[in-house]
């Protein structure tokens, strides 16, 4: 067992030790060799703690050890050929229903709107749709606060609309996966209402409801949406845990009856014929039963206090296996988990095929460059993405499947992070499309990527409806000038991804006056072309990967399978440069920015077919 007498190297050999150390090194801007160096890796943790005492709280290491002990053995990365599966060949397209397509002019996207665009999606060439929540919800967090798991939100339509959507998706040979939000429910969910009102109800144990006085919170955990993670209910003299907004009450997965209810609900949707689920913050479902105080030293590093008690909880693997065994497996359903905070080795522990937990996960480590968070207004260097993805391609293992994405409903658009210069945006959009669709893994397009959409310019806080941004604003108001706050909000807010797509004539009342973008037809055309290319053979989903050149601003690689091979060359920088790949015997099949002089223009991308 790991103790303070174990060495740094032994700690680094565990999935948790490895991922946390890597994250810390990255934040400090230090190379990994700082730990793998034998002189360092042989040092006992006890001595290391002494060396850094003063800069690192000793309890920090204890907390890391506690977490690392949960999984002391490395899960091996396989090098065997990839097992085929439909979701490894598919290209997914994420629909955020509220801002996708509005059919009745109320400014809110809806299911009939999605239905009206299915031919567009089919023609685009995507294979599966991921629908962000469409369940009944008071919309405190745009549907990620579910009031009724078996009902459709009125603004989005009816269950008949949904059934028709599923049927029409299937009719077109596409698949549909739903969002599954089971770490928490809305405080308006009947389970929670009953739990709160009736002390004798078995539902009381479905949540974390703790008796106490208003002065003393059960622990010091903080919420991801600002402030403490506890809400007080004065009438009942109860504290309720909410890691997210105060209307999103965390479910207690320790309770067997709760787990059964959730599994029944999942099966109910699978019985309808949905093809799988994207599982919201799924790695948070198992909390340390003691609900002890979070380590404040850890809290100050990660930004949220208490995370070590649920990031990689003691029964996470057990619960994931139960869901898979009892709900997914009987229906051969696909699963992709949102797993914030897990690094490569921890992700492997929940997705390696022999573990029988999740099919894939979304890891977010590539979304910000080292030393930055989403709260920072900075320019993203794609050289970092290249190094990040090379690390995952090289080390994740063929028993795991990479998910590829640059955007989702929780982030501003990557294209605007890479460059602020509107003149190069279409090039960056195409470059990201090429990487997304030709690197090894399963791509997820976010609605509007294919239109070349960029970030919006919000001119007033009233234009931002996102609960996270509003919480941030409340917390910072008065500490910084309004202009500074608006600048930060423009850099970080999820609202960028939540404005109705440009084919809608009328925007949400809050977004009125916002300058709507137009579809960049050449980006759309290139997406169609690249998606078509991806379908010609199985090289991109399953082929080998070989790095040809990974120097500054270069990303040149070969993908090959059964005698067919392609070379992709990308210019990751804003300066033009000489092409690296001569392409003498190859055929140029895609060029995002054709030029006579052979140079690669800013953010240009080319694809060659060698044989």
CA dist., res. 573 & res. 381, Å (int): 8
- Looking at the Cβ atoms of 138 and 370, the one nearer to Ca ion is 138
> Is 280 tagged catalytic?
yes
Asked if 59 interacts with Ca ion (CB under 5 A), we say no
CA dist., res. 121 & res. 117, Å (int): 6
Burial code of 139-178, b = ≥16 C-beta within 10 A, e = fewer? bbbbbbbbbebeebbebbbeeebbeebbebbeeeebbbbb
Question: Smallest distance from the beta carbon of 100 to Ca ion, in angstroms?
Answer: 10
- Looking at the Cβ atoms of 102 and 127, the one nearer to Ca ion is 102
Residue nearest to Ca ion (CB): 110
Site for Ca ion in 317-376 (CB under 5 A): none
Tell me which residue of 302, 319, 201 sits closest to 260, measured CA to CA.
319
Tell me which residue of 565, 606, 604, 564 sits closest to 582, measured CA to CA.
606
Question: Smallest distance from the beta carbon of 591 to Ca ion, in angstroms?
Answer: 40
Which residue carries 């309770």 as its tokens? 255
- Looking at the Cβ atoms of 245 and 504, the one nearer to Ca ion is 504
Question: Smallest distance from the beta carbon of 257 to Ca ion, in angstroms?
Answer: 37
CA dist., res. 248 & res. 484, Å (int): 30
Residues contacting 609, CB < 8 A, separation 6+: 564, 565, 566, 586, 587, 589
Tell me which residue of 96, 101, 97 sits closest to 505, measured CA to CA.
101
Question: Smallest distance from the beta carbon of 158 to Ca ion, in angstroms?
Answer: 13
- Looking at the Cβ atoms of 104 and 300, the one nearer to Ca ion is 104
Distances (CA, A) of 416 to 138, 422, 484: 31, 8, 19
Catalytic residue among 102, 155, 250, 338: 338
Q: Which token pair is 561?
A: 């399978």
Question: Smallest distance from the beta carbon of 99 to Ca ion, in angstroms?
Answer: 11
- Looking at the Cβ atoms of 110 and 466, the one nearer to Ca ion is 110
Question: Smallest distance from the beta carbon of 514 to Ca ion, in angstroms?
Answer: 18
| CB atoms inside a 10 Å sphere around CB 444 | 25
Site for Ca ion in 89-118 (CB under 5 A): 102, 104, 106, 108, 110
CA dist., res. 222 & res. 215, Å (int): 16
Question: Smallest distance from the beta carbon of 425 to Ca ion, in angstroms?
Answer: 29
Question: Smallest distance from the beta carbon of 215 to Ca ion, in angstroms?
Answer: 45
Question: First vs last Cα of the chain: how many Å apart?
Answer: 53
Tell me which residue of 589, 433, 529 sits closest to 125, measured CA to CA.
529
CB 507, CB 107: distance < 8 Å: yes
Question: Smallest distance from the beta carbon of 104 to Ca ion, in angstroms?
Answer: 5
Distances (CA, A) of 478 to 23, 465, 482: 32, 20, 8
Q: Return left, alpha or beta for 11; rule: phi > 0 is left, psi -120 to 50 is alpha, else beta.
A: alpha
> Is 168 tagged catalytic?
no
- Looking at the Cβ atoms of 105 and 173, the one nearer to Ca ion is 105
Question: Smallest distance from the beta carbon of 110 to Ca ion, in angstroms?
Answer: 4
# chain residues binding Ca ion, by CB under 5 A? 5
DSSP type of residue 500: P
Tell me which residue of 92, 82, 77 sits closest to 436, measured CA to CA.
92
Which residue carries 């991922």 as its tokens? 19
- Looking at the Cβ atoms of 60 and 96, the one nearer to Ca ion is 96
Distances (CA, A) of 542 to 78, 87, 88, 250, 360: 15, 12, 8, 39, 15
CA dist., res. 552 & res. 142, Å (int): 40
Residues contacting 106, CB < 8 A, separation 6+: 155, 506
Catalytic residue among 10, 161, 280, 569: 280
| CB atoms inside a 10 Å sphere around CB 357 | 24
Q: Return left, alpha or beta for 119; rule: phi > 0 is left, psi -120 to 50 is alpha, else beta.
A: alpha
Q: Which residues bind Ca ion (CB under 5 A)?
A: 102, 104, 106, 108, 110
Enumerate the active-site residues. Answer: 280, 338
């Amino acid at each position: 067992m790991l103790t303070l007498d174990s060495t740094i190297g032994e700690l680094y050999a565990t999935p948790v030790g490895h991922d946390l150390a890597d994250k810390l090194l990255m934040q400090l801007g230090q190379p990994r060799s700082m730990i793998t160096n034998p002189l360092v890796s042989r040092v006992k943790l006890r001595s290391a703690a002494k060396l850094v005492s003063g800069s690192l709280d000793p309890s920090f290491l204890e907390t890391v050890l506690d977490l690392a002990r949960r999984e002391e053995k490395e899960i091996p990365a396989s090098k065997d050929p990839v097992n085929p599966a439909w979701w490894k060949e598919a290209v997914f397209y994420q629909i955020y229903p509220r801002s996708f397509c509005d059919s009745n002019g109320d400014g809110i996207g809806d299911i009939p709107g999605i239905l009206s665009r299915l031919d567009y999606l089919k023609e685009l060439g995507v294979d599966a749709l991921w629908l962000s929540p469409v369940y009944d919800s008071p919309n405190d967090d745009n549907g990620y606060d579910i009031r009724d798991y078996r009902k459709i939100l009125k603004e989005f339509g009816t269950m008949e609309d949904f059934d028709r959507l599923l049927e029409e998706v299937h009719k077109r040979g596409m698949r549909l996966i739903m969002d599954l939000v089971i770490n928490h429910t809305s405080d308006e969910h009947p389970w929670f209402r009953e739990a709160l009102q009736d002390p004798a109800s078995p539902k009381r144990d479905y949540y974390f409801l703790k008796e106490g006085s208003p002065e003393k919170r059960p622990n010091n955990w903080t919420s991801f949406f600002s402030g403490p993670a506890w809400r007080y209910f004065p009438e009942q003299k109860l504290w309720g845990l909410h890691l997210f907004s105060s209307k999103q009450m965390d479910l207690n997965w320790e309770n067997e009856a709760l787990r059964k209810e959730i599994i029944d609900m999942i099966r109910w949707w699978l019985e309808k014929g949905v093809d799988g689920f994207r599982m919201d913050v799924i790695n948070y479902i198992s909390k340390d039963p003691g609900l002890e105080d979070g380590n404040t030293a850890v809290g100050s590093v990660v930004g949220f206090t208490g995370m070590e008690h649920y990031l990689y909880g003691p029964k996470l693997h057990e619960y994931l296996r139960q869901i898979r065994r009892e709900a997914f497996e009987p229906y051969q359903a696909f699963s992709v988990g949102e797993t914030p905070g897990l690094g490569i080795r921890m992700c492997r522990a929940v997705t390696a095929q022999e573990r029988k937990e999740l099919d894939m996960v979304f890891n977010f480590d590539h979304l910000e460059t080292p030393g930055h968070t989403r709260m920072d207004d900075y320019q993203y260097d794609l050289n970092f993405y290249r190094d990040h993805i090379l690390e995952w391609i090289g080390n994740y293992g063929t028993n795991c499947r990479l998910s590829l994405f640059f955007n989702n409903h929780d982030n501003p658009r990557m294209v605007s992070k890479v460059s602020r210069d509107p003149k190069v945006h279409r090039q960056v959009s195409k470059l990201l499309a090429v990487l997304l669709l030709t690197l090894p893994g399963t791509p997820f397009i976010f609605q509007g990527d294919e239109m070349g959409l960029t970030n919006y310019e919000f001119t007033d806080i009233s234009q931002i409806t996102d609960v996270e941004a509003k919480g941030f604003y409340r917390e910072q108001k008065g500490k910084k000038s309004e202009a500074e706050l608006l600048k930060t909000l423009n850099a970080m807010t999820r609202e960028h991804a939540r404005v109705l797509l440009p084919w809608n004539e009328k925007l949400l009342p809050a977004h009125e006056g916002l300058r709507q973008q137009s579809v960049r037809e050449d980006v759309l055309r290139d997406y169609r072309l690249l998606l078509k290319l991806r379908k010609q053979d199985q090289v991109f989903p399953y082929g080998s990967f070989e790095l040809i050149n990974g120097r500054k601003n270069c990303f040149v690689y070969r993908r090959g399978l059964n005698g067919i091979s392609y070379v992709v060359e990308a210019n990751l920088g804003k300066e033009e440069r000489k092409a690296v790949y001569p392409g003498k015997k190859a055929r140029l099949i895609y060029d995002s920015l054709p030029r006579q002089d052979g140079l690669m223009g800013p953010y240009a991308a080319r694809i060659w077919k060698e044989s």
